[in-house]
């Protein structure tokens, strides 16, 4: 009978485990943060933040560390688990995040902000900072939000339909450059075959979801759930009659939205009208 392996006592929480492995690998190599930076090519403070769990870094830096330490993809795997870990989201989002990862199709209505799956880093950072997040907690939530975008990548992403209220495109960021980047990103994402993006113009007037941002998820068993959200709270809606009512309102609103081609042109015009960075 094979001998049982001893329990290592290492963290089972993906983000903490990733940071722990980085520290252990560097200490095992007997190098300083500065030494790693000189060998790999990033700033030493970045590696310090990653080892302290304040940031996860990006896939490029993690791949470079995998090569440096000879861990043959192990660090990148841990990074992917940390990025996708639902426990890094606040409690009310966690069950929704698990279901979102399982969904075979998604459709969304955005009241005043782009859906998280389509947000850039600049938009996510400014939007989250408005909620009084700052420092490491802010950066963690930005990374968590960006990590969700992996759902739309890969060879067979789930179909994603998005309806943006015109208010989404009229509520700009204070950072002009970040706002233009967000608009350009929406145009780019609208060109993906798996994404259908429409704009609901102001002229449509009142409708059944005018105060409610909602995401619908179709799960592998055919069941549909909804997640509604405002500035104070989010609610996972699973009761069939309530989901059906939200779907009827969504369908009625979709019939009034611009076509995907018209919507893309609308966003492009908004981008053209957006102010540019002031020249120095």
- The architecture in CATH of the region 94-273 reads 2-Layer Sandwich (3.30)
Parts of the chain with a pLDDT under 50: 1-8, 279-280
Burial 256-270 (b: 16+ CB within 10 A, else e): ebbebeebbebbeeb
Q: What is the pLDDT of residue 272?
A: 94
pTM: 0.68
Burial 55-92 (b: 16+ CB within 10 A, else e): bbbeeebbebbbebbebeeebeebbbebbbbbebbeee
Give tens-digit pLDDT for 225-242: 999 987 667 788 989 999
Q: What is the pLDDT of residue 144?
A: 80
CB < 8 Å & 24+ apart, contacts of 76-80 = 78/14, 78/17, 78/18, 78/21, 79/18, 80/150
Q: Give the CA-trace dihedral at 276, 166, 233, 120, to 10 degrees.
A: -40
Going by C-alpha positions, the residue among 97, 276, 113, 275 that lies closest to residue 186 is 113
Going by C-alpha positions, the residue among 93, 22, 12, 7 that lies closest to residue 54 is 22
Q: How far apart are CA 138 and CA 176, in angstroms?
A: 20
Give tens-digit pLDDT for 176-232: 999 999 999 999 999 999 999 999 999 999 999 998 999 999 999 999 999 998 766
- The architecture in CATH of the region 14-84 reads Orthogonal Bundle (1.10)
Same fold across 14-84 and 94-273: no
Q: What is the pLDDT of residue 1?
A: 43
Q: What is the pLDDT of residue 85?
A: 64
Helices and strands of the chain, counted as H and E runs: 12, 6
What does the domain layout of the chain look like in residue ranges?
14-84, 94-273
């Amino acid at each position: 009978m094979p001998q049982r392996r001893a329990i290592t006592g290492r963290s089972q929480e993906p983000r903490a485990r990733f940071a722990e492995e980085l520290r252990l690998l560097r200490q095992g190599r007997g190098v300083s943060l500065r030494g790693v930076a000189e060998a790999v090519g990033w700033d030493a403070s970045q590696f310090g933040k990653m080892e302290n769990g304040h940031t996860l870094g990006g896939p490029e830096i993690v791949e470079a560390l995998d090569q440096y330490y000879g861990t043959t993809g192990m660090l990148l795997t841990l990074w992917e688990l940390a990025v996708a870990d639902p426990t890094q989201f606040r409690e009310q989002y966690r069950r929704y995040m698990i279901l979102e990862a399982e969904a075979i199709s998604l459709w969304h209505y955005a009241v005043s902000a782009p859906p998280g799956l389509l947000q850039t880093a600049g938009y996510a950072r400014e939007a989250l900072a408005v909620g009084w997040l700052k420092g490491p907690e802010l950066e963690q939530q930005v990374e968590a939000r960006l990590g969700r975008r992996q759902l739309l990548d890969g060879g067979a992403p789930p179909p994603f339909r998005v309806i943006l209220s015109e208010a989404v495109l009229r509520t700009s960021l204070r950072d002009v450059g970040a706002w233009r980047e967000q608009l350009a990103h929406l145009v780019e994402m609208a060109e993906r075959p798996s994404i259908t993006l429409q704009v609901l113009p102001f002229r449509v007037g009142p409708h059944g979801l005018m105060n409610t941002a909602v995401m619908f998820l179709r799960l592998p068993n055919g069941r549909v759930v909804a997640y509604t959200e405002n500035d104070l709270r989010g609610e996972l809606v699973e009761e069939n009659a309530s989901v059906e009512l939200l779907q009827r309102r969504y369908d009625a609103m979709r019939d009034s939205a611009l076509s995907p081609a018209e919507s893309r042109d609308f966003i492009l015009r908004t981008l053209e009208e957006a102010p540019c960075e002031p020249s120095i």
